[in-house]
């Protein structure tokens, strides 16, 4: 949620910021509703004050004065009851309309209205010189027995896979590696609930705009979270943190569920685009003045993990038009896939500034008052896609795959060889 007070004071700043996103519908309606709501609120509050005075006087009045005093107060109460429905309606309409307004892009976000205009900031790591025709992860996975998509489809439908054999060990190793890596950097490990209330989805900005992306359990009115970010942010909802404990850093682990609506035909095989995957996520509640440093810290962790796993990648800064609703800035890392001969998003880091904190009411106290924290999130290890990047980059001519040194303490083996 944006700051409606700021919007009122400086609507042109919002117009300009949303123009950078390629235009946002409904801004003028929000401005108008906010003004009408404010007017109505002032009127109702004025009458409530009058009524409160009248009502209090009754308690002090003598028996003779009472009937007349009650009659007067009743008249005021009736008037207020006549106005309140209109005020409530305005408040509801305002909130509903404002819920669709996205965060303001940070000044450092590149111009652009579509994903073609995202900016490659850097390329890092060397692509290995392969003197053979590399396989993509689907072929490798089949030879090495890492996963089984056909049987996944039989059981649950397309885009569901069984991880099998060494694939399981690889995933568990990656997860533990990422958790240990983050623990050493002040992130407390947390395994989150995956079924979450509407309020948590709304608070993190996935609703109302992205409803179609998520599974919902109607019977219990719960959503399957698309990322542990939802439960991690919501973990501190309504809380007031102390200034001294910021940044609060947590490393979440959970399965993630995405409907992938509208992606028919893309990445239909393998682990790249599936309805369910496991992910270790970084999440920070930061002081507003430190949140851009915190984003840098989260990004540095992502890059160190990729470097430790010896995966070449490029850094892609999302342009204004390609930001999610809650993001003020978003930076992805894309791993190079020698088999598929393309880049694939493996991590994403976002500073949501106070957008989520306002909806979730997550604040901190400093001497002068209570302020909203900034929230940030960033992938540490999306297990499925990391396996894809790992096997494609560390494959050998004979179809086997080597395990980078950083990971072997967790796998217990240094290579995976094709099944007989």
Give the burial class of 219: count Cβ atoms within 10 A of its Cβ; 0-12 exposed, 13-18 middle, 19 or more buried.
exposed
Residue 345 bears catalytic tag: yes
List the one residue from 48, 185, 198, 314 that touches RNA (CB under 7 A): 48
CB 76 within 8 A of CB 51: yes
Non-local (6+) Cβ contacts of 249 within 8 A are: 182, 185, 186, 187, 188, 282, 283, 284
Whose Cβ is closer to RNA: residue 70's or residue 153's?
70
Q: Does 259 sit near RNA (CB under 7 A)?
A: no
Largest CA distance in the chain: 104
List the one residue from 12, 59, 184, 264 that touches RNA (CB under 7 A): 59
**CB-CB neighbours of 184 under 10 Å:** 8
Q: Does 64 sit near RNA (CB under 7 A)?
A: no
Residue 385 bears catalytic tag: yes
Give the shortest CB-45-to-RNA separation in angstroms: 4
Whose Cβ is closer to RNA: residue 57's or residue 119's?
57
Q: What's the token pair of residue 415? A: 């290579």
* Stretch of residues binding RNA (CB under 7 A), selected from 46-54, 106-114, 139-147, 322-330: 46-54
φ, ψ (nearest 5 deg) of residue 252: -95, 145
Closest by CA position to 188, among listed 251, 279, 235, 248: 251
Residue 156 bears catalytic tag: no
Q: Does 119 sit near RNA (CB under 7 A)?
A: no
Q: Does 406 sit near RNA (CB under 7 A)?
A: no
Q: Is the dihedral of CA 294, 296, 297, 299 positive or negative?
A: positive
Whose Cβ is closer to RNA: residue 24's or residue 76's?
76
Q: Does 38 sit near RNA (CB under 7 A)?
A: yes
φ, ψ (nearest 5 deg) of residue 379: -60, 140
Question: Site map for RNA, 229-248, x if CB under 7 A?
Answer: -----------x--------
Closest by CA position to 304, among listed 387, 185, 412, 160: 185
* Stretch of residues binding RNA (CB under 7 A), selected from 71-79, 138-146, 210-218, 325-333: 71-79
Residue 39 bears catalytic tag: no
Among residues 20, 143, 249, 258, which one is catalytic? 258
Q: Does 370 sit near RNA (CB under 7 A)?
A: yes
Among residues 21, 143, 269, 385, which one is catalytic? 385
Buried b (16+ CB within 10 A) or exposed e, 158-181: ebebbbeebbebbbebbbbbbbeb
Among residues 36, 345, 371, 400, which one is catalytic? 345
Q: Does 168 sit near RNA (CB under 7 A)?
A: no
Give the shortest CB-317-to-RNA separation in angstroms: 32
Whose Cβ is closer to RNA: residue 60's or residue 420's?
60
Distance from C-alpha of 228 to C-alpha of 302, rounded to nearest angstrom: 17
Query: DSSP states of 54-110 as a string?
Result: HHHHHHHS-TTTHHHHHHHHHHHHHHHHHHHHHHHHHHHHHHHHHTTPPPPPPTTSP
Whose Cβ is closer to RNA: residue 327's or residue 362's?
362
Cα–Cα distances (Å) from 68 to 46, 50, 51, in that order, read 22, 16, 14
Question: Site map for RNA, 336-365, x if CB under 7 A?
Answer: ---------------------------x-x
Q: Does 46 sit near RNA (CB under 7 A)?
A: yes
Q: What's the token pair of residue 156? A: 């649950």
Distance from C-alpha of 3 to C-alpha of 291, rounded to nearest angstrom: 18
List the one residue from 15, 24, 77, 195 that touches RNA (CB under 7 A): 77
Active site residues: 258, 273, 345, 348, 385
For RNA, the binding residues (CB under 7 A) are: 4-5, 38, 41-42, 44-46, 48-49, 51-56, 58-59, 70, 73-74, 76-77, 88, 240, 363, 365, 369-370
């Amino acid at each position: 949620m944006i700051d409606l007070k700021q919007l009122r004071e400086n609507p042109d700043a919002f117009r300009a910021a949303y123009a950078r996103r390629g235009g946002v519908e409904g801004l003028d309606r929000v401005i108008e509703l906010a003004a009408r709501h404010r007017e109505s609120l002032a009127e109702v509050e004025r009458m409530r004050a009058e009524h409160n005075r009248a009502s209090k006087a009754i308690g002090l009045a003598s028996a003779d004065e009472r009937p007349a005093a009650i009659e007067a107060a009743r008249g005021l109460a009736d008037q207020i009851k006549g106005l309140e429905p209109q005020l409530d309606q305005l408040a509801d309409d305002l909130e509903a309309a404002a819920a669709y307004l996205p965060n303001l892009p940070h000044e450092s976000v590149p111009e652009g209205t579509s994903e073609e205009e995202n900016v490659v900031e850097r390329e890092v790591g060397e692509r290995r010189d392969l003197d053979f025709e590399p396989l993509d992860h689907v072929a490798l996975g089949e030879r090495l027995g890492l996963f089984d998509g056909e049987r996944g489809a039989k059981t649950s439908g397309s885009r569901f896979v069984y991880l099998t054999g060494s694939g399981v060990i690889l995933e568990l190793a990656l997860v533990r590696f990422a958790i240990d890596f983050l623990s050493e950097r002040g992130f407390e490990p947390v395994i989150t609930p995956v079924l979450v209330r509407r309020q948590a989805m709304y608070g993190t900005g996935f609703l109302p705009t992205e409803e179609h992306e998520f599974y919902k359990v109607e019977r219990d009115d719960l959503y399957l979270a698309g990322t542990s970010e939802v439960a991690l942010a919501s973990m501190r909802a309504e809380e007031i943190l102390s200034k001294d404990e910021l940044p609060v850093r947590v490393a979440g682990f959970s399965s993630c569920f995405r409907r992938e609506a509208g992606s028919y035909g893309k990445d239909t095989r393998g682990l790249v685009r599936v309805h369910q995957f496991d992910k270790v996520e970084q999440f920070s509640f930061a002081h507003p003045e430190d949140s851009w440093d915190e984003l840098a810290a989260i990004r540095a962790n992502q890059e160190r993990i990729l470097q430790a796993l010896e995966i070449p990648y490029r850094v892609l800064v999302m342009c204004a038009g390609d930001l999610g609703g809650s993001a003020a800035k978003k930076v992805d890392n894309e791993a190079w896939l020698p088999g598929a001969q393309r880049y694939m998003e493996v991590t994403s880091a976002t500073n949501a500034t106070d957008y989520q904190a306002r909806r979730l009411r997550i604040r901190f106290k400093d001497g002068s008052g209570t302020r909203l924290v900034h929230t940030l999130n960033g992938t540490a290890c999306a297990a499925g896609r990391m396996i894809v990047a790992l096997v494609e980059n560390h494959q050998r001519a004979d179809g086997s795959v080597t395990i980078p040194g950083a990971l072997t303490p967790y796998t217990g083996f240094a290579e995976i060889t094709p099944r007989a």
